[in-house]
């Protein structure tokens, strides 16, 4: 049995992408998100591509990074569109891109095509922009999770990420995070996202191997921890 680590509020905050990807989010909502991220000390904010300019303006001069998404939330976009979306987000202030793979291709085992689309996005957002690849782990069996992680690494990703948080199959699980962490080792980061609602949930994900967390309830979760 894995024992959850004991982390302070600040230590956990430094692992969080404070997230607002609701389609109805307004610039005013993003202003509030960024102000809260700075107050809490989270690593980044994660926002929709059309709102990266707003987020970049609000966190300018602070330690908070801006993450945005590509092919979100379905992943059923062409590789070219994902690359274009990612490139535009990076050009308007995103330091990191969280892209969704084509799950239909993954379920068919067409890993060469999945690798090609990840590589296309990587080409549009070269280092130092970080690329996280969302594999929607709740949809995939263990073998496919392993293959998705290996494919992401081969295509040049910096992180693998469990979930969009929008799929009806569910979000992150400790079992999926542990499998992903074993597969990529220390070479890539592992981001757990989707359904993390309490500090206990968050700490369990870290214990399983997550190095970043995507949270929308950051303030409430951090309030459960000691300073």
Q: Which of 132, 158, 191, 201 is catalytic?
A: 191
- Whole-angstrom distance, CA of residue 23 vs CA of residue 48: 8
98 noted as active-site residue: yes
112 noted as active-site residue: no
**Strand 96-100 relative to strand 65-70: parallel, antiparallel, unpaired?**
parallel
SS3 call for 227? coil
Q: Which of 82, 132, 161, 201 is catalytic?
A: 161
- SS3 of 11-38: HHHCCEEEEECCCCCCHHHHHHHHHHHH
SS3 call for 100? strand
The DSSP-derived string for 111-141 is: HHHHHHHHHHHHHHS-TTSEEEEE--GGGS-
65 noted as active-site residue: no
Q: Which of 17, 65, 82, 98 is catalytic?
A: 98
Task: Find out whether 210 and 4 touch, Cβ atoms under 8 Å.
Answer: no
Give the bridge partners for 149, in sequence order: none
Catalytic residues, which ones? 98, 161, 191
């Amino acid at each position: 049995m894995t024992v959850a680590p004991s982390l302070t509020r600040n230590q956990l905050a430094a692992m969080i992408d404070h997230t607002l990807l609701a389609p109805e989010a307004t610039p005013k909502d993003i202003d509030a998100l960024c102000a809260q991220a700075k107050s809490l000390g989270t690593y980044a904010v994660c926002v929709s591509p059309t709102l990266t300019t707003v987020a970049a303006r609000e966190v300018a001069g602070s330690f908070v990074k801006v993450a945005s998404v590509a092919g979100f939330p379905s992943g059923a976009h062409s590789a070219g569109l994902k690359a274009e979306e990612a490139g535009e987000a990076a050009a308007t202030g995103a330091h990191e891109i969280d892209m969704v793979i084509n799950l239909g291709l993954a379920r068919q085992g067409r890993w060469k095509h999945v690798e090609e689309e990840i590589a296309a996005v990587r080409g549009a957002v070269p280092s130092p922009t970080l690329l996280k690849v969302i594999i929607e782990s709740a949809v995939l069996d263990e073998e496919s999770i392993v293959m998705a992680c290996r494919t992401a690494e081969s295509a040049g990703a910096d992180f693998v990420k469990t979930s969009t948080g929008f799929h009806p199959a569910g979000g992150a699980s400790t079992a999926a995070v542990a499998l992903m962490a074993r597969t990529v080792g220390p070479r890539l980061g592992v981001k757990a996202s989707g359904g993390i609602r309490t500090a206990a949930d968050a700490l369990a994900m870290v214990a399983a191997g997550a190095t970043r967390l995507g949270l929308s309830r950051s303030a409430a979760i951090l309030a459960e921890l000691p300073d």
